[in-house]
């Protein structure tokens, strides 16, 4: 008797669940059958529906204070009963603030949770920009058309098995795609600021890899200011190499006797950009590096933005390290990388430029910004690898400094740890990939900085 009653109760519950799911699915199919250009009537005139979700404000929807540590639980943006078959979540949190949602491993989404597909696209873009790891359980061609192929593919990707590091990289990719595709600041490509890359170098052997990193950048408005620092015969004919780069370039040579700060100030004087970023010849940069810094500058409002010394390759030890995990996306002035800074020209002018010093100019720049009342913001560390080769570093920290701060270590050259691919990262220290086990040839670093 009790068993029969239990079966009846289970059958009734299943029928109720099936009816709820059928209603959600019916609403979803109805919305998908509406023509993409269908709109509402105002009098006798038809107002077309927008072809893209409305743009959002980066100042309101951004990943500041994104938490690396998250609950293993999965949330849903609507009733659990409206999730497609086979999709599971622990709790329904429709309408919850992104600050709460991004503390879950990921969030499941379905069309049934939204008024229409345009409203869905707008909410997904805003959540992704805030760093929420969202999974679209019922991806559709119309949603793809609204969000764009890059963001849609990331939202549709399977995220259930991602560990902490892989989840963070996935969130970074989501943020970047959402912000540059749907933030009002980034949608107007023609109005994006010109970014001048300042590249000071004394090492002609490393120039090819440095120029390749510049050429790979996807930021649409770039110029390179190359500042050869002494060693004039070795840099002879560099104009021909720059002409094939595909990026507008200027050359600001400096004598070997000039301190590094003066070399950088000379490059600033030759530049035209509203934003200035410093790149080093021996570090590794992913193609989205300038985008990452420019976006962080836009949503943080900081005078100076940077990436941290989070991913490090030690050439002598032949190890790749992940240090200072979870230290990104926050207001901090420590553990930053001098080869991954960006500042507005006006803010640099306000503090008098780089100090006229032979070394320590990046730390001095941070100090001057803070003393002048400006803010320093550190974004995520992905897409940048600090390379320590033991030859001519302006900062003389030994390998033990990094080894004691590493939360994870991998043997050899592991660019994927920082979200870099071999195609863009290549080998470290100018060597073919993979890097040599022994320290690189000192001839590649003829004159120490």
User: DSSP string spanning 163-196?
Assistant: -HHHHHHHHHHHHHHHHHHHBHHHH-GGGSPPEE
Q: Closest by alpha carbon to 335, among 387, 291, 376?
A: 376
CATH number at residue 209: 3.90.550.10
Judgement on whether residues 323 and 221 belong to the same structural domain of the protein: yes
Bridge-based pairing of strands 222-228 and 195-201 is parallel
Boundary of a domain, candidates 186, 208, 241: 186
Contact, 151 vs 177, CB < 8 A? Answer: yes
Q: 221 and 87 in one domain?
A: no
Query: Are 381 and 294 found together in one domain?
Result: yes
Please, are residues 388 and 315 in contact by the beta-carbon 8 Å criterion?
yes
Q: Residue 125 is part of which domain span? A: 71-186
Check whether residue 140 and residue 161 sit in a common domain: yes
Q: Are 175 and 131 in contact (CB under 8 A)?
A: yes
Residues 321 and 282 in one domain: yes
Number of domains in the chain: 2
Answer whether residue 393 is part of any domain.
Answer: yes
Q: Are residues 223 and 118 in the same domain?
A: no
For the full predicted model, state whether its pTM sits above 0.95: no
Residues 362 and 377 in one domain: yes
Q: Is the separation of the CB atoms in 293 and 305 below 8 Å?
A: yes
Which of the 8 DSSP states describes residue 233? G
d(C-alpha 219, C-alpha 274), whole Å: 14
Same domain, 217 and 178: no
Assess if residue 25 is contained within a domain. Answer: no
Same domain assignment for residues 405 and 308: yes
Residues 97 and 220 in one domain: no
Taking the chain (449 residues) in runs of 10, the rounded mean pLDDT of each run is 43 46 49 44 46 91 94 96 94 94 97 95 98 95 96 97 95 98 92 97 92 96 96 86 93 95 98 97 96 98 94 90 81 84 98 93 94 95 86 56 74 94 61 38 34
Peptide bond into 348 cis (omega under 30): no
Same domain, yes or no: 202 and 329: yes
Last residue of a domain, one of 153, 186, 219: 186
Query: How many Å apart are CA 318 and CA 220, to the nearest integer?
Result: 35
* 83 and 180 assigned to the same domain: yes
Give residue 5's pLDDT: 44
């Amino acid at each position: 008797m009790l068993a029969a009653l239990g079966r009846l109760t289970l059958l009734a519950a299943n029928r109720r669940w099936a009816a709820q799911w059928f209603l959600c699915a019916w609403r979803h199919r109805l919305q998908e059958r509406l023509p993409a250009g269908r709109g509402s009537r105002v009098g006798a005139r038809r107002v077309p529906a927008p072809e893209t979700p409305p743009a959002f404000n980066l100042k309101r929807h951004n990943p500041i204070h994104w938490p690396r540590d998250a609950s293993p639980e999965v949330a849903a943006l609507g009733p659990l009963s409206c999730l497609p078959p086979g999709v599971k979540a622990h709790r329904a949190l429709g309408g919850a603030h992104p600050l709460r949602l991004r503390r879950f491993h990921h969030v499941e989404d379905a069309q049934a949770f939204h008024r229409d597909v345009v409203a869905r696209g707008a909410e997904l873009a805003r959540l992704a920009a805030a760093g929420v790891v969202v999974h679209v359980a019922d991806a559709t061609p119309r949603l793809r058309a609204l969000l764009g192929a890059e963001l849609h593919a990331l939202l549709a990707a399977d995220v259930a098995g991602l560990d902490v590091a892989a989840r963070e990289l996935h969130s970074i990719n989501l943020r970047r795609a959402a912000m540059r595709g749907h933030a009002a600041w980034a949608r107007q490509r023609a109005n994006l600021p010109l970014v001048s890359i300042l590249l000071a170098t004394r090492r002609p052997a490393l120039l090819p890899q440095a120029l390749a990193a510049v050429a790979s950048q996807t930021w649409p408005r770039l110029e390179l200011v190359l500042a050869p620092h002494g060693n004039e015969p070795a840099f002879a004919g560099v104009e021909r190499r720059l002409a094939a780069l595909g990026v507008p370039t200027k050359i600001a040579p400096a004598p070997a006797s000039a301190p590094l700060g003066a070399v950088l100030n000379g490059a600033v004087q030759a530049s035209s950009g509203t934003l200035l970023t410093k790149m080093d010849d021996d570090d590794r940069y992913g193609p989205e590096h300038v985008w990452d810094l420019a976006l962080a500058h836009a949503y943080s409002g900081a005078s100076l933005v940077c990436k941290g010394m989070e991913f490090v390759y030690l050439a002598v030890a032949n190890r790749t390290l992940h240090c200072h995990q979870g230290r990104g996306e926050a207001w901090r002035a420590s553990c930053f990388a001098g080869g991954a800074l960006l500042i507005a020209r006006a803010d640099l002018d306000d503090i008098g430029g780089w100090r006229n010093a032979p070394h320590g100019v990046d730390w001095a720049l941070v100090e001057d910004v803070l003393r002048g009342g400006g803010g320093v913001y550190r974004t995520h560390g992905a897409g940048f690898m600090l390379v320590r080769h033991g030859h001519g570093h302006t900062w003389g920290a030994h390998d033990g400094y990094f080894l004691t701060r590493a939360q994870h270590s991998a043997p050899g050259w592991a660019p994927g740890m920082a979200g870099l691919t071999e195609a863009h990262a290549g080998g470290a220290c100018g060597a073919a990939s993979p890097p040599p086990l022994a320290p690189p040839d000192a001839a590649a670093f003829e004159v120490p900085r």
